Amino acid sequence: MEKEKTLDCLCIKSIDYKDNDKLVTLYAFGEGKITCLLRGVKKSKAKLKYAGALLCFGKYYLTGKNGYNNVIGCDLIDSFYGIWTDIDKYYPALCSVEILDKVADDREIGDKLAVLTLEFLNEICYKSKDNFISFAKYLNNVVNLLGYKLPLKCLNCGEINNDNFYYSYLKGGLLCGNCYDSTAKKLLMGSLTLLKCFEENKNIQATFDTDDIIAVIQIYFDIIGKNLAKKFKTFEEYILFYNKVNIY
């Protein structure tokens, strides 16, 4: 006998399935990550087309048994439409749901991360004055939630009062001017200042160059990727896009 249930869910992955169906991965608040089938939603007049869209947040009505779920209804709460019309919001949003997808198997962390992600989507869609800063702040929160906080001191000698820091992508941490090697990348003052603001939980009031913020974003993704032993395809596309922008 099939059981029916109603869950508040965020759609974090959506793929085509057969001719007219979609398979979606939903993060169900309080229950975790689940995979569901949406039948016939690729048809032009499908009533639940929106429920199969990435970033859809709503109350999903599910039916199924033995771990197989079908979506039979959805009360839309937010589709975050504004994210889809702005490239500076689009890539960070997709990066955030990819992180949630790859971390959410840990239920204890998953629910907290899902809340952070939903708050982030709401911020960049409706409130953010600087999408790059908002993205960096979100990633800092993720790193701290996962327990991978970046110590602002040299990995080798422990130097802390140093404005001449390098980030080692080999070692996954900071090195001072006396300890850095050829694999480390020098942090410009803007990047270091932003990292200090996050560590001290200060409000971001200064204006930062986009390149300095993206350098911090890269550091956080390197920390997350190394500790989880996972790659993030969307983030690789994000960096490629902004590298191309900076060329022209």
- The pLDDT tens digits of the residues spanning 143-183 come to 999 999 899 999 999 999 788 999 999 999 999 999 999 88
92 Cβ neighbours under 8 A, 6+ residues apart: 120, 124, 131, 134, 135, 138, 238
Percent of the chain with pLDDT over 70: 97
The residue type at 157: C
pLDDT at 247: 38
pLDDT digits (tens, 9 = 90+) for 97-126: 999 999 887 777 999 999 999 999 999 999
Q: Closest by alpha carbon to 27, among 129, 134, 102? A: 102
Helices (H), 50-130: 81-84, 87-103, 107-122
Q: Hey, how many other C-beta atoms are within 10 angstroms of the C-beta on 94?
A: 20
Q: Which residue has the higher pLDDT, 103 or 3?
A: 103
pLDDT digits (tens, 9 = 90+) for 177-229: 999 998 899 999 999 999 999 988 888 877 899 999 999 999 999 999 999 89
Give the length of the chain: 248
DSSP code per residue over 132-174 = HHHHHHHHHHHHHHHT----SS-TTT---S-S-EEEETTTTEE
What CA–CA distances, in Å, run from 33 to 16, 38, 204? 19, 16, 33
Structure tokens at 89: 């919001």
Q: Hey, how many other C-beta atoms are within 10 angstroms of the C-beta on 43?
A: 12
Angle between helices 131-146 and 210-228 (to 10 degrees): 30
Give the DSSP letter of residue 18.
T
Structure tokens at 81: 């439409």
Full-model pTM:
0.92
Say if residue 156 is exposed, middle or buried (CB neighbours under 10 Å; 0-12, 13-18, 19+).
middle
Say if residue 95 is exposed, middle or buried (CB neighbours under 10 Å; 0-12, 13-18, 19+).
buried
